[in-house]
Structure 1
Amino acid sequence: MLVGYMRVSKADGSQTTDLQRDALLAEGVAADALYEDRASGKKEDRPELAACLKSLRHGDTLVVWKLDRLGRDLRHLVNIVHDLTQRSIGLKVLTGQGAAIDTTTASGKLVFGIFAALAEFERELISERTIAGLAAARARGRKGGRPYKMTPAKIRLAMASMGQPDTNVSDLCRELGITRQTLYRHVSPAGELREAGNRLLSQSGTRSK
């Protein structure tokens, strides 16, 4: 069975799927087997795509007008086709740069294999750059990861405030720009310093009394 998927970027009616619909119908996709989204290509929430992929069964073929109608990016596209392949579902692209892709044929599988290899190459490059960047930072005495949201100054304010019976914890967290979890990890409800708070103060050269 052939199942078609269409997408336009704007939901205000300024773009239509007429061209895609005509091409899919001409390819042999039944009108009741067409799925349509009106959303940006970068948008993750595409309910009709999710419904389309869920409806596909062993031996079916997903037909799209162009590759950019289907995936958000190369990695997303590779993941979709990998999932389809695992389920013995084909993918056919009718036009554009991906028109040679038809995973129901040997040559089409070869073309898509090149796409998959490029996506894997991209992932490895990103990983290598990240590792190299962290190593360079460590060599300069810096550690990787996110900076602390809690600071020694915030800890001292939290200790003083938490010791007051009229302190509103939500207001305090909002004022300090931290979450309750972060607050309680460093300071107890009674305003006493906890291990994480003591460690942060020690690292900054400030000892608690």
Structure 2
Amino acid sequence: MLVGYMRVSKADGSQTTDLQRDALLAAGIDAYSLYEDSASGKKDDRPELASCLKALRNGDTLVVWKLDRLGRDLRHLVNVVHDLAERGIGLKVLTGQGAAIDTTTASGKLVFGIFAALAEFERELISERTLAGLASARARGRNGGRPYKMTPAKVHLAMASMGRPGTKVRDLCNELGITRQTLYRHVSPAGELRPDGKKLLNLK
């Protein structure tokens, strides 16, 4: 079964899906098998896309007018199509830069394989840049990454410190290596245990 997905970038009515709808109908898709979102492709909340992907079954083919109607970016696009392939679902692009993609054919799979390789290349570059940035920061005496997690010992120190007048929360957080949010999830401004603190100390 053929299932079509459409999307416009603006939800204010300045764009319509008429051109996409006509092309999808001409490709043999029934009107009741069309899904439409009116939102930016950068937004994670695309309910009709979620419904469309959920409705697809093994042997179906998802048809889109252009590649940019489906994915937020290359990585997201590759992940979506990989998931479809795992479920035995094909993808066909009608026009634009991805018009050669039809994963129900051998040549179409080859073209998409190139896209997947580029996405992997992009991930490797991002990883390399991140590691290089952390190494550079460490060389300058700065440690990157997330702050250390709260520990039972830190909870006890936080309780004692927060209960004393004059304690500066920022200095305490720096000393314990935690964020202000983490501190307040475990200990109140008066030095009393909060639910997360009790849980960490195995108290009820």
- With normalisation by structure 1, the TM-score equals 0.75
1:182 equivalent to 2:186? Answer no
Question: Could you tell me which residue of structure 2 aligns to residue 13 of structure 1?
Answer: 13
1:160 equivalent to 2:164? Answer yes
The Cα offsets for residues 160-195 of structure 1, whole Å up to 9 and x where unpaired, read as 3599xxxxxxxxxxxxx933x413657885479xxx
Match runs of 1:126-141 below 5 Å: 126-141=126-141
Same amino acid, percent of matched pairs:
76
Displaced runs of 4+ in structure 1, greater than 3 A?
Answer: 155-163, 183-192
Instruction: Kindly indicate whether the alpha-carbon contact (under 8 Å) linking 1:4 and 1:63 is maintained by their aligned counterparts in 2.
Output: yes
Instruction: Provide the rounded CA distance (Å) in 1 between the counterparts of 2:32 and 2:75.
Output: 29
Displacement of 1:9 in angstroms is 1.1
Question: Could you tell me which residue of structure 2 aligns to residue 117 of structure 1?
Answer: 117
Q: Secondary structure at the match of 1:29?
A: coil
The Cα offsets for residues 122-145 of structure 1, whole Å up to 9 and x where unpaired, read as 001111111111112112221112
Instruction: Kindly indicate whether the alpha-carbon contact (under 8 Å) linking 1:8 and 1:16 is maintained by their aligned counterparts in 2.
Output: yes
Instruction: Provide the rounded CA distance (Å) in 1 between the counterparts of 2:13 and 2:56.
Output: 28
The Cα offsets for residues 17-49 of structure 1, whole Å up to 9 and x where unpaired, read as 000000000000000000000000101000000
Instruction: Kindly indicate whether the alpha-carbon contact (under 8 Å) linking 1:162 and 1:189 is maintained by their aligned counterparts in 2.
Output: no
Instruction: Kindly indicate whether the alpha-carbon contact (under 8 Å) linking 2:4 and 2:33 is maintained by their aligned counterparts in 1.
Output: yes
Instruction: Provide the rounded CA distance (Å) in 1 between the counterparts of 2:126 and 2:180.
Output: 31
Provide the alpha-carbon RMSD of the alignment. Answer: 2.7
Displacement of 1:51 in angstroms is 0.3
1:71 equivalent to 2:71? Answer yes
Question: Larger Cα Rg: Structure 1 or Structure 2?
Answer: 1
Q: Which runs of 5+ in 1 are unaligned?
A: 149-154, 164-176, 193-209
